[in-house]
Amino acid sequence: MADNHIHQLVIVGGGPGGLAAGIYAARARIDAVLLEKGATGGQILNTDWIDNYPGFPEGVSGFELAERMGAQAQRFGLKVAMKSAVSMDLVAAVKTIHCDDGTTIQAHAVILATGARPNHLNVPGETELTGKGVSYCATCDGPFYRNLDIAVVGGGDTALQEAVYLTKFAKTVTVVHRRQEFRAAPIIQEAALAHERIRFLYDAQVSAILGSKEVEALRIRYRDGREEERPFQGVFMLIGITPNTGSLPLDQLHNEQGFVVTDGRMRTNLPGVMAVGDLRHDSIRQVVSAAGEGAVAAKEVEHYLECISHGKGA
The stretch near another protein (CB under 8 A) out of 19-27, 33-41, 252-260, 288-296 is 33-41
Least distance from C-beta 98 to another protein, angstroms? 12
Rounded to whole angstroms, the Cα distance separating 3 from 197 reads 56
Sign of CA dihedral 82, 92, 114, 307: negative
The stretch near another protein (CB under 8 A) out of 31-39, 152-160, 237-245, 251-259 is 31-39
Rounded to whole angstroms, the Cα distance separating 301 from 33 reads 13
Contact between 137 and 45 under an 8 Å Cβ cutoff? The reply is: no
**Which one of the listed residues 140, 203, 263, 282 is annotated catalytic?**
140
- Told to check if 83 binds another protein by CB under 8 A, we report yes
Relative to beta strand 234-237, strand 134-135 is: parallel
- Measured from the CB atom, the residue of 244 and 268 that comes closer to another protein is 244
Rounded to whole angstroms, the Cα distance separating 252 from 259 reads 13
Contact between 80 and 40 under an 8 Å Cβ cutoff? The reply is: yes
- Measured from the CB atom, the residue of 79 and 178 that comes closer to another protein is 79
In the list 5, 52, 92, 100, the residue contacting another protein (rule: CB under 8 A) is 100
**Which one of the listed residues 48, 99, 141, 278 is annotated catalytic?**
141
Rounded to whole angstroms, the Cα distance separating 210 from 205 reads 14
- Told to check if 46 binds another protein by CB under 8 A, we report yes
- 140 is known as an active-site residue: yes
- Told to check if 63 binds another protein by CB under 8 A, we report yes
- Identify residues 191-230 at the interface with another protein (CB under 8 A): 213-214
Least distance from C-beta 18 to another protein, angstroms? 14
In the list 13, 18, 22, 41, the residue contacting another protein (rule: CB under 8 A) is 41
Least distance from C-beta 39 to another protein, angstroms? 5
Helices in 43-175 by DSSP H: which ranges? 62-75, 138-141, 157-166
Rounded to whole angstroms, the Cα distance separating 106 from 131 reads 37
In the list 62, 115, 125, 294, the residue contacting another protein (rule: CB under 8 A) is 62
Least distance from C-beta 63 to another protein, angstroms? 6
Contact between 97 and 253 under an 8 Å Cβ cutoff? The reply is: no
- Measured from the CB atom, the residue of 130 and 207 that comes closer to another protein is 130
- 141 is known as an active-site residue: yes
- Told to check if 234 binds another protein by CB under 8 A, we report yes
- Told to check if 57 binds another protein by CB under 8 A, we report no
Rounded to whole angstroms, the Cα distance separating 154 from 163 reads 10
- Told to check if 82 binds another protein by CB under 8 A, we report yes
- Told to check if 84 binds another protein by CB under 8 A, we report yes
- Identify residues 102-141 at the interface with another protein (CB under 8 A): 130-133, 135, 137, 139-141
Residue 48 CA, chain-centre distance (Å), reads 14
Number of residues in contact with another protein, rule: CB under 8 A? 31
Contact between 1 and 45 under an 8 Å Cβ cutoff? The reply is: no
Name residues whose C-beta falls within 8 Å of residue 217's C-beta, 6 or more positions apart in sequence.
210, 211, 229, 230, 231, 232
Relative to beta strand 104-112, strand 32-35 is: unpaired
Active-site residues, by number, are: 137, 140-141
Judged by the rule CB under 8 A, the positions of this chain that interact with another protein are 37-39, 41, 44-47, 62-63, 66, 82-84, 100-101, 130-133, 135, 137, 139-141, 143-145, 213-214, 234
